Structure formats: structure tokens, C-alpha cells
Amino acid sequence: MIFNSIDFAVFLPVVFLCYWFVFNRSLLLQNLFVVAASYVFYGWWDWRFLILMTVTIVCSWASGVWIAHTRNRSDLDEKSIRRRARRITAANIVLNLLILGFFKYCNFFVQNFVEAFTLFGKELNVHTLKIILPVGISFYTFQALSYSIDVYREKIAPTRDIVSFFTFVSFFPQLVAGPIERATNLLPQFQVRRTFDYAQATDGMRQILWGLFKKTVVADNCAVAVNEIFEGYASYSSGTLLIGAVLFAFQIYGDFSGYSDIAIGSARLFGINLMRNFAFPYFSRDIAEFWRRWHISLTTWFRDYVYIPLGGSRVSKAKVIRNTFIIFLVSGLWHGANRTFIAWGAYHALLFMPLLLLGKNRKHTGAVVAENRLLPTLKECLSMLLTFLLVVIGWIIFRVENMHQAIDYISKICTLSFSDVFVATEGGNRRLLGLLVSTILILAEWFGRRQQYTLERIPVRNRVFRWMIYMIIAGMIVMLGGVSSPFIYFQF
């Protein structure tokens, strides 16, 4: 079930009404209902996916209970307790990563194994398996792992309430594509009674509306032109290829941040607060700032559970460089079993290096760009433009099927002439529409950049004018909504 479908348009209000008016008698009933609704939501694609998710949930919950039992044993000394807790945690991590690795990377490693022997003139007759990648497996696996690791680190107490734990991992708004929540933030919210908050619910509806705009109006319209250009890139001019790359940047942003907005907004309807996942990343002034604003839940996950355990930035410069490359390469591999994703991660690591070596990677950690001004300075404009162009090049690597296409695509863009850009816009209404709605998006987000999301606080006190804005956005969704396409991050 996808957010921009008729199925979900019926599912969400039915679940909302039952949650608050039928199953609100006790915390247990509410949580059981959320689990049931989440299983229906996830099983809508394929009921077999539910088996894997259940295994992940049960094993992660059981590991926490086992650790709690170990720590309560009076016959063990502190050293033995730590050792056993470490083994339990490691076993759960390995089990979950093996499941994730099998379904996501098995064929990738088999193919690379065969190709390695081919380089030495040895042909292997090995066939890949017909493995169906479960939707969102990377997201819920990482969420469950965060619980196991935090229990081991004693940042959160192990829970014996298996229902609330099932609710924490399977919560349907963010189950398939995040945000990747931490147990320290989300699990406690399912362990206390929730009461309906009208202001919170209306805020959630606003964020859902804006998320639908980004997905259906921006991402889906850009997708049509992007698919056409990338599939036939060899026959297009350099200007058209540049436009295709820029439109893909807005497609993936509108698609993924739109999903996050709908997820966060939907959760607020049920009295649950999810973490922010995007903070206007295309207004970043350098690559380091971009990664603090893009897919925040994943970036901070790798920071807390990979980068810092490796020593973070409190080690020698050589090890800091090593740690940085590791998290970017692992982040690339997390996105999928393709060399292009690894190359995309390596590309961003290389972009990050000058900032790291010059000590400027923490330069823009505070206020947003042009904090107290309507317009940015010339320096800020140039910094944002350069950062955006570097990100766009990375998105080309991310989007193509192999590195040969990436090199060829980028090489063709490098032959760009001034007239090519104007000729390229004559190729189809979809390109113009994609550029138009992307411009509307970026302008709206510029004026709302000081907020959690663009529509959080509309600077219009008159209720009639506010509702006019809502109706205009809803009208654009209906009138300009492109051909519905699957959310890009469902494949990860």
C-alpha cells in the first residue's frame, strides 16, 4: 500500500477513527490495533514479507529480554555480564544483517564473484537466485538494530512488553521508508497512553498535504521527463542531459522527503512524534551541511552506530579519513546492490575530504542560510549553487545503471554550450512542467526554511486566506499530479 493511492486514502481515516474511538479504552488495545493495522499495511504488497519482519522483531525483542535476565543474575560478576551481553547483542546483529544481506546483496556478490574469475579467463557456470527484495527491509532492520545496540549500551532499558515493541518496529507510517527511528525516541511513546490533540492532528494534516504535493506534483512530473532522458541519454544534447540530471535531483528529493512528510504527518494523527528527516538540503552551502540536512535519520544512524564506534573524529587524521570513507561507502552500499551506489558514496566522501582536512566540515551547523534576511548574499548564492551542482553530479551516478553510463552521461554534459540549455527546453512539455513545479517547490521552501516543514506556520492570520492556500495546493495535486510512480526508496 502506497501513500498516494486510493487504498491508503481509505485505510488512513478508517484506522484513525478506530484508533481514537474504538480501541482507545486501554494502551494495550491501542497498540494491538496499531500492530494489526501495520501488518495489513505491509502485507498489502506480499504477505510473505510479514514473516521476515516478524523474525526481526522477535529476535531483537528476545535479545533485550535475554540481556535483562543476564544483568539480573547474581551469580555472575560484572565482567561476565558484559561479555554475555556483548555476545547476545552480536548474535542478534549478525542474524539480522545475514537476513538483510541475503535478500539484498546475495545476487550482487555472486555476480561479482563470477566476474572476478572471468578476468582470469575462468568461466563459472553459476546462476543467481530469483530473490524478491522485501519492501523497506533496510529501514526496519536498522530500526530494530538501534534498539539492540542501545540496550547493550544501557541507553534504554530492555522492554518485556512485546506488544509495544512490535508497535515500535512495525508502525506503518514510517515502516517502509523511514524515518529510521531510535528506540530511545519512539518506543517510550508506545508505552504511555495517548490522548487526542487537535492542534497536533491539524499540523499532521498540513504536513501530509505538503508531502503529497512534493510527491505527486513535483516528483511524479519530473519522473516522466527523467525516465525518458536517462533511458535514451545517448541521443540527447548536453543541455537536455543537464536538465534531466537537475530534474532527477528534484524528483528524488520530492519523492523521498515527500514520503517523510506524509509519514511524520500521519504519525502525528495518532499522537506520535517522529524525527525530522529532511531540513531543506538544497539550501546547503557545502557538502558537509548537505549531509546534515539530507536523510537525517540514516546519516545520524551511521554516525552513532558506525562512525563514533570506529573512533569518530577523536583519533588521528588518517583514521578520521578512514572512518569517513567507511561511512560513506557503507551508506552507498546500504542504498542497493550496485557498484554505482558504492561509487556514489565514494564520490561524496571525496567531496567531503577538503572540508575535513581544512577543518571546515562543521562550519555551517547553526543558523539556516540568510537567517535574518529575505535574500542570501552573493557568496551564499554561489556556495549553494556550487553545492547543488556537485550533488547533481552525484545523483547522475546514483540514477544510471552502471559506471559506463555515468561516465558517458557526465562527459556529454561537459560539452555543454550556452545555447544547448534553451534548445533542451523545447523538447517537451513534461520538461517545462517539471522545471516549473520544481521552481515553485524551491521558492516555497525558501520562504519556509526556518520551519520544520514549509506549511508549518503559514504567515497569514486570516483563516479564509489560509484555507485558500490549502485549497490551491490541493487543486494542484489534483490538476497537476503526474503519472503515479512507486516511491524511489521502496527499493532500499
Grid cell, residue 480, equals 497537476
**372-401, pLDDT tens digit by residue?**
888 999 999 999 999 999 999 999 999 998
Query: What confidence score (pLDDT) does residue 130 get?
Result: 64
Separation CA 283–CA 445 (nearest Å): 9
Separation CA 430–CA 419 (nearest Å): 20
Separation CA 235–CA 467 (nearest Å): 46
Q: Name the helix (H) or strand (E) containing 170.
A: helix 162-170
CA 12, chain centre distance (Å): 21
Asked if residue 275 lies in contact with residue 185, where contact means CB atoms within 8 angstroms, the answer is yes
CA atoms within 13 A on the CB side of 428: 14
- Phi and psi, residue 366, nearest 5°: -105, -110
| pLDDT score of 420 more than 90 | no
Classify residue 376 as exposed, middle or buried by CB count within 10 Å of its CB (0-12, 13-18, 19+): middle
| pLDDT score of 413 more than 70 | yes
**286-326, pLDDT tens digit by residue?**
999 999 999 999 999 999 999 999 998 888 889 999 999 99
Mutual orientation of helices 27-43 and 6-21 as an angle, nearest 10°? 170
Query: What confidence score (pLDDT) does residue 415 get?
Result: 82
| pLDDT score of 53 more than 80 | yes
| pLDDT score of 109 more than 80 | no
| pLDDT score of 114 more than 60 | no
Exactly one of 69, 127, 335, 404 is catalytic; which is it? Answer: 335
**212-252, pLDDT tens digit by residue?**
999 999 999 999 999 999 998 888 888 889 999 999 999 99
Query: What confidence score (pLDDT) does residue 102 get?
Result: 82
Concatenate the DSSP letters of all residues of 419-439 into one string: HHHHHHGGG-HHHHHHHHHHH
**190-213, pLDDT tens digit by residue?**
999 999 999 999 999 999 999 999
In the three-class reduction of DSSP (H, G, I as helix; E, B as strand; rest coil), residue 123 is classed as: coil
Concatenate the DSSP letters of all residues of 359-374 into one string: T-TTSS-SSPTTTT-S
- Phi and psi, residue 405, nearest 5°: -65, -40
Grid cell, residue 388, equals 547543488
| pLDDT score of 438 more than 70 | yes
Residue 295 annotated in active site: no
Query: What confidence score (pLDDT) does residue 274 get?
Result: 95
Query: What confidence score (pLDDT) does residue 314 get?
Result: 87
Query: What confidence score (pLDDT) does residue 460 get?
Result: 64
Give the pLDDT band (50/70/90) at residue 472: very high
In the three-class reduction of DSSP (H, G, I as helix; E, B as strand; rest coil), residue 129 is classed as: coil
- Which residue has 525530522 as its cell numbers? 276
Separation CA 117–CA 441 (nearest Å): 49
Q: How far, in Å, are 220, 271, 365, 416 from residue 228 at the CA level?
A: 13, 42, 38, 19
Q: How many residues does the chain have?
A: 492
Separation CA 211–CA 217 (nearest Å): 10
**146-172, pLDDT tens digit by residue?**
999 999 999 999 999 999 999 999 999
**327-377, pLDDT tens digit by residue?**
999 999 888 778 899 999 999 999 999 999 988 888 888 778 888 888 999
Q: Name the helix (H) or strand (E) containing 385.
A: helix 378-399
Asked if residue 296 lies in contact with residue 472, where contact means CB atoms within 8 angstroms, the answer is no
Query: What confidence score (pLDDT) does residue 152 get?
Result: 93
Query: What confidence score (pLDDT) does residue 203 get?
Result: 93
| pLDDT score of 108 more than 90 | no
Instruction: Give me the residue spans of the domains in the chain.
Output: 6-195, 200-285+364-491
Query: Mean pLDDT for the chain?
Result: 88
Query: What confidence score (pLDDT) does residue 124 get?
Result: 56
Concatenate the DSSP letters of all residues of 469-491 into one string: HHHHHHHHHHHH-------GGGG
**268-284, pLDDT tens digit by residue?**
999 999 999 999 999 99
| Secondary structure in 3-state letters for 308-348 | CCCCCCCCCHHHHHHHHHHHHHHHHHHHCCCHHHHHHHHHH
